[in-house]
Amino acid sequence: MSNKFADRISALRDMMRESGWDAVLVSGSDPHSSEYPAPRWKQVEWLSGFTGEAGDLVITQNHVGLWTDTRYFIQARRQLEGTGIELHKTRIPEQVLIPEWLAHFAFGEKNIINIAIDGLCQRVSDIEEIKSSFDDDKEVRIVSVPDMLDSIWTDRPAIPDTRIIDLDDSITGESCDDKVDWLRAFLREKGCDAMLISSLDEIAWILNIRANDIDYNPLAISYLIISQDEVRWFVRENYDDVYISLAEGFGRLFVDPGTLNFHLFSILDKNNILTGPSPIKLRKAVKNSVEIEGMKKIHIEDGLAMEKFLFWLDSSIKNGEKITEWDAARKLGEYRAEIPGYAGDSFETISAYGPGAALPHYITPRENAPVIEKGGLYLCDSGGQYTNGTTDITRTVPTGPCSFLEMEDYTLVLKGHIELAMAVFPKGTAGCQIDYAARSPLWQAMRNFGHGTGHGVGFYLGVHEGPQDIRQNFNRQPILPGMITSDEPGIYREGMHGIRHENLILCTEAGHNEFGEWLKFETITLCHFDTGAIIRNLLSDAEIRWLNNYNETVYKTLSPRLPDDVSKWLREKTKAI
């Protein structure tokens, strides 16, 4: 085990022995169940060296395990090499999740088990799952220690404190007052006096504010309590006042155990709360007309940056320049930074050539990044945060001649992307019921990808948001008009190449008839798909029509605002096939 991480695990194990804990569960999240935590809460990384965006650690005296999903298997294997930390794979059929592992594999015949957690960084629902997974004859004691690692993590970063930005109603399309009124009506209907909100994107949405506390996420670390006559925001120097306020009491409190942290939940009066899924999540996901217009406009700007970038890349490689993956990522960032309202990237750009692209969440190295060679495939997955919205786009482009397998995979993934983009479905349909559209062209050729097909995307908020998604999981949330979701099938062949084609698609009404109400998607991302790696006869006539029509729309929309050389190049690139 690498010395640094071994020392830290060892220090934690000392703490465990002193305290009589059988296991410590370290979450990859923060007190707000954020997808990406600020450095202060990157506890998993600090203990293990694993930098993936999703991962939880369990430490016992004779085992350290990291649980992470398909996206990070290759990365985890590399980063954990030599540490002695065992990788537990999730989102695979034979997965053994943490609750089950703790209940059945960790403690043998032991009957009383003490599991320590940093209650700030564990959701109520996670702890419930752990408790209920144990057989009745076992006694599980959850010991919650807020900021547990503080005593051994001496240089732990502070809580971030970036500038708060107020968004005008002309941008959000709905005032904070109106949103609060809506929430109050919801609370009255539920017989509640107030709601405690800890989810940062929900707070940002309802207050119409943004900040930069978390990389790529324009959020402010805070809590919010909305009662019938008060809006109390616990932010910056008031962050910890939430405890005092909760102690004072707000009457009957509505909380969402799916996001609320265990520590905060543990101090609430359980006789005076109502638990349930936050109504903000769904309402936030259904964009209003102003948000939709903003998103469409910003996708024109983002598309211009993308086309300039792809032109630069194409020309540079043709000219024999030595461009690394890192150079390319930086260049794209520069183009995006020119866009008015740009507030940073929406996630770390994945810029990957050849085998690197086979890691779905590849981290482009700053130093000694691989050179993008002539020939084969280059993948770039990136996005921006703007005052008018959030973007997320993946383009995979041939940098010269490609093998038949590269072209076949490229075309099949595009076929899947197009099938989903063209889907029509009855109102009430959930994402898992249309996921097949994107997968079947791959499945028919016995190929597949290990990640979801689509995730919700926020409006100048998280690039991943719920409640809807398009994936194999049995998520019952229907896809509703106004929701924006990604469409991003892929194929990854370790050591060879990785392909992903991603646009954002907006769900819209398609009409109604005797069979009911119908929905469809409108693609809002604007950047051409390279036709150079396509095997035309793998596409159906309808798919070819879609592709030609899309590329033509991209050209017509963007070319008037592109420099002449880029525009001329794009004319060539978007020629009908």
Query: 220 near 205, Cβ under 8 Å?
Result: no
Contact segment (CB under 8 A) with a second copy among 124-132, 224-232, 342-350, 417-425 equals: 417-425
Q: Which of 273, 518, 522, 553 binds a second copy (CB under 8 A)?
A: 518
Cα 444 to chain centroid, rounded: 28
d(CA 410, CA 21): 51
What is the edge-to-edge ordering of all strands in the sheet holding 389-390? 342-345, 384-386, 389-390
- Quick note: the x/- pattern for a second copy over 429-458, rule CB under 8 A, is x--xxxxxx--x--xx-xxx----------
Using left for φ > 0, alpha for ψ between -120 and 50, and beta otherwise, residue 389 falls in left
**Among the listed residues 248, 289, 513, 564, the single contact to a second copy using CB under 8 A:** 513
Supply the minimum distance, in Å, between the C-beta of residue 99 and a second copy. 18
Q: Which is nearer to a second copy, 341 or 481 (CB)?
A: 481
Of 70 and 385, nearer to a second copy (C-beta) is 70
Burial class (CB in 10 A: 0-12, 13-18, 19+), 235: buried
Map the footprint of a second copy across residues 539-558, applying CB under 8 A. Answer: 540
Q: Which DSSP symbol is given to 180?
A: H
Nearer to a second copy among residue 82 and residue 428 (C-beta): 428
Among 424, 549, 561, 571, the residue binding a second copy under the rule CB under 8 A is: 424
Q: Is 472 in the site for a second copy (CB under 8 A)?
A: yes
Tell me how far, at minimum, the Cβ of 136 lies from a second copy, in Å: 13
Tell me which residues in 5-64 interact with a second copy (CB under 8 A). Answer: none
Does residue 510 interact with a second copy by CB under 8 A?
yes
**Token pair of 318 as six digits:** 């043709």
CA distance 412 to 497: 14
- Apex 463 CA angle, 490 and 498, nearest 5: 20
User: Rounded to the nearest 10 degrees, how much is the dihedral formed by the CA atoms of 474, 479, 201, 351?
Assistant: 80
CA-based nearest residue to 543, from 408, 416, 397: 416
Using CB under 8 A, pick the residue from 96, 165, 422, 480 that binds a second copy. 422
- Comparing CA positions, the residue from 303, 386, 410, 395 lying closest to residue 349 is 395
CB 286 within 8 A of CB 506: no
Q: In this chain, which stretch among 110-118, 211-219, 355-363, 470-478 interacts with a second copy, using CB under 8 A?
A: 470-478
Between 393 and 437, CB nearer to a second copy = 437
In contact, 390 and 458? CB cutoff 8 Å: yes
Q: Which is nearer to a second copy, 368 or 537 (CB)?
A: 537
Cβ within 8 Å of residue 190, ≥6 positions away: 254, 274, 276
> Rounded to whole angstroms, how far apart are CA atoms 131 and 61?
21
CB of 517 to a second copy, least distance (A): 10
Cβ distance to a second copy smaller for residue 158 or 474: 474
Taking residues 64 to 93 in sequence order and writing x for each that binds a second copy by CB under 8 A, - otherwise, the string is: -----------------------------x
| Nearer to a second copy (CB atom), residue 425 or residue 460 | 425
Residue 423 in contact with a second copy, rule: CB under 8 A = yes
The span of 73-81, 154-162, 248-256, 507-515 binding a second copy (CB under 8 A) equals: 507-515
Query: Cβ 494 to a second copy, closest distance in Å?
Result: 8
Considering the complex, state which of residue 12 and residue 510 has its C-beta at the smaller distance from a second copy.
510
Is 476 among the residues that bind a second copy (CB under 8 A)? yes
Minimum distance from residue 491 beta carbon to a second copy (Å): 9
Q: In this complex, which beta carbon is closest to a second copy, that of residue 437 or of residue 524?
A: 437
- Residue pair 490/498 in contact (Cβ under 8 Å)? The answer is yes
- Taking the complex as a whole, the smallest distance from the CB of residue 43 to a second copy amounts, in Å, to 33
The Cα 499–Cα 92 span in angstroms is: 21
Contact 265, 142 (CB under 8 A): no
List residues binding a second copy (CB under 8 A): 93, 422-429, 432-437, 440, 443-444, 446-448, 472, 474, 476, 493, 510-511, 513-516, 518, 540
